[in-house]
Amino acid sequence: MRILLVEDDRDLGPRIARALRDEHFAVDVATNGVDAQHLGETEQYDAAVLDLGLPDIDGIGVLKAWRAAGRELPVLVLTARDGWSDKVAGFKAGADDYVLKPFRVEELVMRLRALVRRAAGHGQPRLECGPLSFDAQTGAFELDGLALKLTAFEWRVLSQLMLRRNTVIERLDLLERVYEGDADVDSNSLEVIVGRLRKKIGATMIETVRGRGYRLACGG
């Protein structure tokens, strides 16, 4: 999963980014409104964490621009503004959730996971696919009831496939949601990751759809 983090605080921004990466998220960081608006309109993200007090363009302006451009990514507003009018303005602009500073990073991660899960159309946190299960609230995978150990890249690919199981995910879409924007991506890297996943969960569970991409086949 790939997240856009928009935060201009030089201490808090890196701390949040580090916590998200520790949970296997790919994270792009913007520290001002102009860059945030551009990234949100041109890149593919599973969700955004958006501070309101930004240089150049404030968070409300950025959010309004994203929605006007048709960008539907879930947005979690992160701010020190605790007035009711500020919350109303955020939700009216298109925010999906609201977290006040100071906060626990663990709560932010949980709320973010919930936003991504609901945006994918899942009401319940636990998803099943044959012997494979995924707790979308904790990020844990199990195979036949046993914890599945995955690298960060394997987790990103498998979580995308699980959230959209039985659906073909275009190769480019997967690439854009697995790697951060400044990553130097080898042309065969996705195939390598999928190959490793097949060894861990079974060769037949991930289908290759020629000319398109991959599908996690769960039946039904």
Helix 105-119 vs helix 12-22: crossing angle, to nearest 10? 60
Which CATH number characterizes residue 56's domain? 3.40.50.2300
Domain tally for the chain? 2
Same domain, 161 and 207: yes
Which residue range forms the structural domain that includes residue 58? 2-119
pLDDT digit string, tens, across residues 79-97: 887 777 778 888 999 999 9
Same domain for 115 and 22: yes
What per-residue confidence (pLDDT) applies to 185? 74
Predicted pLDDT of residue 2: 95
* pLDDT tens, residue by residue, 121-160: 998 999 999 999 999 999 999 999 999 999 999 999 999 9
Do residues 134 and 79 both lie within one domain? no
- Cα gap 90→58, rounded to integer Å: 11
Sign of CA dihedral 60, 63, 64, 65: positive
Do residues 141 and 181 share a domain? Answer: yes
Q: What percent of the chain has pLDDT over 90?
A: 78
47 shares its domain with 93: yes
User: In this structure, are 110 and 202 located in the same domain?
Assistant: no
- 110 and 209 in a single domain? The answer is no
Residue 74 and residue 111: Cα distance in Å, rounded? 11
Provide the pLDDT for residue 57. Answer: 92
